[in-house]
Structure 1
Amino acid sequence: MALSGTDVIGQAKTGTGKTLGFGLPLLERVTVPADVEAGRAKPEDLTNAPQALVVVPTRELCQQVTNDLLTAGKVRNVRVSAIYGGRAYEPQVEALRKGVDVVVGTPGRLLDLAGQRKLDLKHVRALVLDEADEMLDLGFLPDVEKIINLLPAKRQTMLFSATMPGAVIGLARRYMSQPTHIRAAAPDDEGATVANTTQFIYRAHNMDKPELVARIPAVRRPGPGHGLLPHQAHRRRPRRPAQAARLRLRRGPRRPRPGRP
């Protein structure tokens, strides 16, 4: 559906591959120098300004989507740039100045650079609103509407969301043209994450976090302590004094935490 150029609403849980669902059609639609050289596009279709825009709610998702699109667009040498807050303006402005085909960004920084006339959105042919329900939860929908009003009226718009609250449906009605609604879930399944995605939370002191993350790949197989690191799994069972002493010897002395003797 997205490859045909029609507007699409994709409703699917987190973890179902929405990124390439909209990413591959975007990469196919943009014009790169190789297209002009091969006669597949006219020289006037080639521009240094963004031809596609992906709006996401968080910097982490921005980085993830950018990396996925860079990987998928490597063969065609599609230029993809991440625009998000919390980092210096200069590298992002420099990337835009050199030329970019696809911009992935968060609403605040996109509006900021557009207001400074560093980001030209007049050539955008395709817009993607990713994780629209999360943008609603974070209060970004007014900024999203401001961004949409900066885009050409003639464009393809795709909206992807795990759930479809009323505000998101209203956004789709105002800014999309006869969209095809594709729901990749059972009608009675309202969860936001696929069932085979298991999430774990590890509570740790700030000083222990790097070591904790480094140990996560050491988990070999599900077992009695599934979801725990190997040394944490042992703590689920009471130890005899001798066992505790041997374990402490293998680990070494405990490091004192700040503020503790």
Structure 2
Amino acid sequence: MTFKDFNFKENLQRAIEDAGFKEPSPIQQDAIPVVLSGKDMVGQAQTGTGKTAAFGLPMINMMNGNSGVEAVVIVPTRELAMQVSDELFRFGKSSGMNTATVYGGQSYNMQLRNIDRASIIVATPGRLIDLLKGKKIDIKPSFVVLDEADEMLDMGFLDDIKEIFTYLPKERQTLLFSATMPPAIKKLAQNILKEPEFITVTKAEMTNSKITQLFYVVDEYERDDALIRLFDFKNPEKSIIFCRTKKEVDRLSTYLVSQGHMAKGLHGDMEQRQREEVIRSFKKGALDVLIATDVAARGLDVNDVSHVFNYHLPFDSESYVHRIGRTGRAGKEGVAISIVTPHEFRMIQKIQHVTGGKMEAKVIPNIDSVKEKKTSTLRGKISEQKVYDSGISLVESLKEEFDLSTIAFKLASILSDATIVKGNNYIGKSEIDIKKLFERLKDDKGDDRNRGGQRRGRFGGGNRNRNGGGGNRSRSGGDRNGGGRRRD
């Protein structure tokens, strides 16, 4: 089955193709016909299964784009609000649909101006109820979507959601998505949906089995050093580095170029012509490294990407699945590498739980390990190198001044520059450190169960700093030399 089988409007179908979407995922295949039929729906599916397109595409197809706010999508966090809004805008812009992202911490006036121009509002419950109760907006959406309802329940938003629905028209199509179905969610569905159709996508191995998933634990200030060291050791043929923000993309692309890598950034603030030029260069091999935001890289179809690096983990599992899916394509093997801090361990566990994939903890190689590998690679190249007439002529001319041993030593010295490794000898946590962090996480979980009933954040109480690691600049307390470091 392809997306053409849904008979979407021409503009929407073109946007789907531009995004690189070809075959619908199971949740999309099951949900889209239900939404197009006008029925209310409850979809039980894990994050990472393509839920945004499952409700967004049929919704946009049925909207007319010229009658104010036609759809409201309610999500648990600002990060997810931004991601969903970006994706819906990408699908809907050619059909004249604008999106407004509404969450706390931003100017009311700016958000209200965006709402005035929007067909779709993507909002967190707290800010949306503020706007409705304060009579700052008066909307009559035809479509209302609750995304990740169980997360909103966990975060204590149930009462806000119930109140939001008192301000919405009774004649509407309502869609609810949740990974789990606790009694409170079932009761909510009974109250706000009319004779809904239930769709369940069972959890399956969502990540490609040909992709090896690794993560390396560092302190926040070590991210750049860790990235360069891993590049030196892995020597990727073609790679994508994912960042959370456009500013991060710009900084990191400048840094990598300064380190001798053929790299360029890709993000939404670039002109379309620039973005197309970067993607074309990357596909042709003129660039070895692409540094991109999630939205910029959606639909990027390059079959020979050997490695994907997560400079920071994404905010949700769905983005992680999309990111690592850029490698291991067309039957080839790929490697997905995540650089994480101790604060992000809970997110690692959540990603593993949701995707069913295995992420293996590794230790960043020290200088000797990298040098040994580079030297071995160099020896292999010398061994396989064919002898050309130009090489023979050069050696013959050098023999007039030096003996053969001296010529060999000088040429080898030039070549050995490629084996130089910069930076600190040890970067990141040792095996002992990582083991202690896992043990501490188990202890914390036990404490959480004992305390019970506490309001949890989206990632189980982990650090919600947008920079992911909280900037902890202290060195590990573990024995840096006795951690049983090994090369991977």
Distance 1:202 1:105, change over 3 A: farther
Question: Which has more helix, going by share of residues?
Answer: 2
Question: Which amino acid counterpart does residue 205 of structure 1 have in structure 2?
Answer: D
The question of 1:76 aligning with 2:95 is answered: yes
Distance 1:241 1:138, change over 3 A: closer
The question of 1:105 aligning with 2:123 is answered: yes
Q: Which structure is higher in RCO with an 8 Å CA cutoff and minimum separation 6?
A: 1
Q: What residue in structure 1 maps to residue 11 of structure 2? A: none
Cα shift at 1:142: 1.0
Distance 1:227 1:236, change over 3 A: farther
Question: Which amino acid counterpart does residue 306 of structure 2 have in structure 1?
Answer: R
Question: Which amino acid counterpart does residue 7 of structure 1 have in structure 2?
Answer: D
Q: What residue in structure 2 maps to residue 39 of structure 1? A: none
The question of 1:220 aligning with 2:306 is answered: yes
The question of 1:154 aligning with 2:171 is answered: yes
Alignment of 1:160-239 (within 5 A): 160-185=177-202, 194-196=205-207, 201-209=215-223, 217=241, 220-221=306-307, 227-228=336-337, 235=364, 239=368
- Secondary structure at the aligned position of 1:127 is classed as strand
Distance 1:118 1:167, change over 3 A: same
The question of 1:30 aligning with 2:80 is answered: no
Q: What residue in structure 2 maps to residue 66 of structure 1? A: 85
Deviations 1:75-100 (A, max 9, x none): 2111111111233333212212x332
Distance 1:130 1:210, change over 3 A: farther
Cα shift at 1:72: 0.7
Inter-partner Cα distance in structure 2 for 1:55 and 1:174: 17
Alignment of 1:51-62 (within 5 A): 51-62=70-81
Q: What residue in structure 1 maps to residue 28 of structure 2? A: none
Distance 1:210 1:70, change over 3 A: farther
Inter-partner Cα distance in structure 2 for 1:89 and 1:213: 39
Question: Which amino acid counterpart does residue 196 of structure 1 have in structure 2?
Answer: T
The question of 1:4 aligning with 2:32 is answered: no
Name the Cα RMSD after superposition: 3.9
Q: What residue in structure 1 maps to residue 422 of structure 2? A: 251
Inter-partner Cα distance in structure 2 for 1:80 and 1:158: 18
Distance 1:208 1:61, change over 3 A: same
Cα shift at 1:171: 0.3
Cα shift at 1:208: 2.9
Q: What residue in structure 2 maps to residue 42 of structure 1? A: none
Inter-partner Cα distance in structure 1 for 2:131 and 2:102: 9
- Secondary structure at the aligned position of 1:19 is classed as helix
Inter-partner Cα distance in structure 1 for 2:185 and 2:103: 22
Inter-partner Cα distance in structure 1 for 2:127 and 2:174: 20
Cα shift at 1:236: 6.0
Q: Is the 8 A contact 2:219 2:474 kept in 1?
A: no
Q: What residue in structure 2 maps to residue 89 of structure 1? A: 108
Question: Which amino acid counterpart does residue 101 of structure 2 have in structure 1?
Answer: A
Q: Is the 8 A contact 2:74 2:122 kept in 1?
A: yes
Deviations 1:190-220 (A, max 9, x none): x5x8542787654322223466579773693
Distance 1:200 1:12, change over 3 A: farther
Q: What residue in structure 1 maps to residue 449 of structure 2? A: none
Inter-partner Cα distance in structure 2 for 1:70 and 1:149: 27
Question: Which amino acid counterpart does residue 87 of structure 2 have in structure 1?
Answer: D
Q: Is the 8 A contact 2:40 2:193 kept in 1?
A: yes
Q: Is the 8 A contact 1:13 1:194 kept in 2?
A: no
Q: What residue in structure 2 maps to residue 41 of structure 1? A: none
Question: Which amino acid counterpart does residue 10 of structure 1 have in structure 2?
Answer: G
Inter-partner Cα distance in structure 2 for 1:240 and 1:51: 58
Inter-partner Cα distance in structure 1 for 2:182 and 2:168: 24
Q: What residue in structure 1 maps to residue 132 of structure 2? A: 114
Q: Give the one of 159, 178, 194 matched to 1:142.
A: 159
Listed as ranges, the gaps of 5+ residues in structure 2 are 1-33, 232-239, 242-288, 290-304, 308-327, 329-334, 340-360, 376-417, 427-471, 476-488
Structure 1 length as normaliser, TM-score?
A: 0.75
Deviations 1:125-151 (A, max 9, x none): 111000111111111111111111110
Inter-partner Cα distance in structure 2 for 1:21 and 1:74: 17
Deviations 1:95-130 (A, max 9, x none): 12x332110000001111222222222x11111000
Distance 1:176 1:63, change over 3 A: same
- Secondary structure at the aligned position of 2:82 is classed as helix
Inter-partner Cα distance in structure 1 for 2:49 and 2:160: 27
- The size of the alignment, in residue pairs, is 237
Inter-partner Cα distance in structure 2 for 1:152 and 1:242: 67
Cα shift at 1:161: 1.1
Q: Give the one of 13, 16, 19 matched to 2:49.
A: 16
The higher radius of gyration belongs to: 2
Listed as ranges, the gaps of 5+ residues in structure 1 are 34-45, 186-190
Moved over 6 A (4+): 213-216
- Secondary structure at the aligned position of 1:182 is classed as strand
